[in-house]
Structure 1
């Protein structure tokens, strides 16, 4: 079955750096994943496996930790979920699409905590919930900048990672 892994915390330098995506493909194929492809340097991986989401997340985490030394959280999604996220995007053409971000988690989000968060006023920034992810609009010129992955993780008690809409759209296409 085809799946998409999103690595959380990849950095261009330092401990959580992935040296080359080609090396990442190599070590993940050696670990047993099939037809591994990556997209851009921030840790987006498309592959095939029969493992459960939990098993494959652990396999990817442990493989990267032992071979590269990076300790990265791994969010697993299916291509269909990405198709849904693109289709459910709540922001119309009046928004700058380059400022639309999608937040993914493997964790169950507490509905009460989410409702409290969604009821807050973030000024120029916007937060919406979809069936597969959270959507954020983060204009460059926002007066107060509060919305980011760390803030959402703290407020919702989850581990999450964020991708731009354009990246999610491209991964959705690549996974077809």
Structure 2
């Protein structure tokens, strides 16, 4: 099965630095993942495995911690999940596509918490809850971003990671 790993919290320096994505590809191949490819330095991987998504996330997280020292959350999605997320983008051509972000999680959350955030006024920013991800529209003109991964994590009790829609689209084409 072809899966996508999205690493949460990769930083260019410090404790959550991934020295080179090529090294990450190598160590994941060493533990049995096949056809591992990466896209940009911020922790986007596509690969094949017969392991479950839960087992895959745990194995990648443990391997990165042991070999690199970074303690990162790992969000695992199928290629189909990501294709559906792009296909179901609720923001039409009247929106600046460079400002559309997808937020992915492995977790579930309470309906009451979702209703509360959906009822929040985010000003110029927009939130749509999809079946495969959260869709955020974050226009450049918004004075201070209210909508972000930390906000969603805190209010929904989840671990999540955000990517621009173009990054996911390019990752699928790798």
1:37-78 CA-to-partner distances (Å, cap 9, x unmatched) read: 000011001011111111110110011000000000000000
- Structure 2 segments unaligned to the other structure (5+ residues): none
Is the deviation greater in 35-44 or in 138-147? 138-147
Which range moves more in the overlay, 143-152 or 84-93?
A: 143-152
Contact 1:29 1:36 in 2 (8 A): yes
Aligned counterpart, 1:123: 123
The 5 A counterparts of 1:4-15 are 4-15=4-15
Partner Cα separation in structure 1 for residue 37 and residue 6 of structure 2: 12
Q: In 2, are the aligned partners of 1:38 and 1:46 still within 8 Å (CA)?
A: yes
Aligned length: 174
Distance 1:136 1:58, change over 3 A: same
1:124–1:144 Cα contact (<8 Å) kept:
no
For the residues of structure 1 that align with 2:102 and 2:5, how far apart are their CA atoms?
A: 14
- Structure 1 SS opposite 2:102: strand
How far, CA to CA, are the matches of 2:71 and 2:123 in structure 1?
Answer: 34
- Cα RMSD of the aligned pairs, angstroms, is 0.8
Check if 1:160 corresponds to 2:160.
Answer: yes
Other-structure match for 2:53: 53
Partner residue of 1:25?
25
Which 4+ runs in 1 deviate beyond 2 A? none
Q: Normalization by structure 1: what TM-score? A: 0.96
Q: What SS class does the counterpart of residue 45 from structure 1 fall into?
A: strand
Deviation for aligned residue 1:136: 0.4
Q: Is the 8 A contact 1:90 1:128 kept in 2?
A: yes
Matches for 1:1-176 after TM superposition, within 5 Å: 1-174=1-174
Q: Distance in 1 between matches of 2:74 and 2:145?
A: 26
> What TM-score results when the alignment is normalised by the length of structure 2?
0.97
Structure 1 residue runs without a partner (length 5+): none
